[in-house]
Structure 1
């Protein structure tokens, strides 16, 4: 299970914040995840063990697409926060520049 978390899951999730999750892509990810779990548990496809039994036996609760959706939500929240911070700082800089320009014009040292 530790190998799955450290190697497989991290490899599958790399860069997933920017992926577009279509239904076809989700099903392909699920197939890869189940394949890895079956190989890790040394279960053959010929044994016809249901996927849920394998996931439960390996201690995996959510599928990989849920993890990707969570990562995308976190990324979106962070991007939104950065955007708001940038907008606030640009407003402050603009106000500061306008005040500085007015002060310099009053003194007579700067004429734009």
Structure 2
């Protein structure tokens, strides 16, 4: 069977790019999330008679899951992060009743609404998946693909960030090396405690 080579394709709701980047997938996530925002902004988010708690329940149950679907495997660029944060804060500012003109910091808005940042949530999901990969049997196809090293000439310039290098940075930010984290990841409960502390 001859398979056609394509630039990108949709698999289980996730857009896979031939280049290995995730820009189009993240753009699609943001676009779908903004569709939800515009469909409920006037009829729901803007309604004063609807409690903040109810609005935040919808944020947690609908808005955030659409934005972050499949985020476990993302490699985020600075630009991706900025766009994701802008989409996150669009909803949260509206619920808090402020605009950009009020110059209220995003951290303060999240604190007032009792919610963590979406980027922090994404990092937790990625580390959770990293731990799952560590515990996975070496014969599993997913594990074998993850550990495979592709032999190719590296282009000039700064090396592109990989999923592993992003995970390593996240581990270092939590005070653990790759090897130290591997030991913790063996115990599912301990790993969960480490990731979600």
TM-score by structure 2 length?
0.39
Partners of 1:19 and 1:48 in 2: CA distance: 30
Q: Is 1:68 aligned to 2:116, yes or no?
A: no
Given the alignment, which residue of 94, 104, 109 partners 1:49?
Answer: 104
SS at 2:137's partner residue?
A: helix
Higher helix share: 1
2: CA distance, partners of 1:4 / 1:84: 38
In the superposition, relative to structure 1, how do residues 81 and 20 fare at CA in structure 2: closer, same or farther (>3 Å)? same
**Residues paired across the two proteins, number:** 86
Displacement of 1:85 in angstroms is 6.3
Give the number of the structure whose residues are more often strand, by fraction: 2
Q: Which has the larger radius of gyration?
A: 1
Query: d(CA) in 2 for partners of 1:53 and 1:66?
Result: 15
In structure 2, what is the Cα distance between the partners aligned to 1:65 and 1:83?
29
Distance in structure 2 (CA, Å) of the matches to 1:32 and 1:52:
15
Could you say which residue in structure 2 is the equivalent of 1:22?
77
* Deviation by residue 1:11-63 (Cα, 9 ceiling, x = unmatched): 12210011112222112111111111012223233333332332222112x31
Give the RMSD, CA atoms, in angstroms: 2.1
Of 75-84 and 22-31, the range deviating more from structure 2: 75-84
Query: C-alpha distance in 1, partners of 2:109/2:57?
Result: 16
Q: How does 1:101-112 map to 2 (within 5 A)?
A: none
| Residues 1:81 and 2:140 aligned together | no
Name the CA distance, whole Å, in 2 between partners of 1:34 and 1:16.
Answer: 18
* Whole-angstrom distance in 2 between the partners of 1:49 and 1:74: 32
Q: Normalising by structure 1, what TM-score?
A: 0.64
Unaligned runs of 5+ in 2: 1-55, 141-197
Shift of residue 82, structure 1, vs aligned partner: 1.9
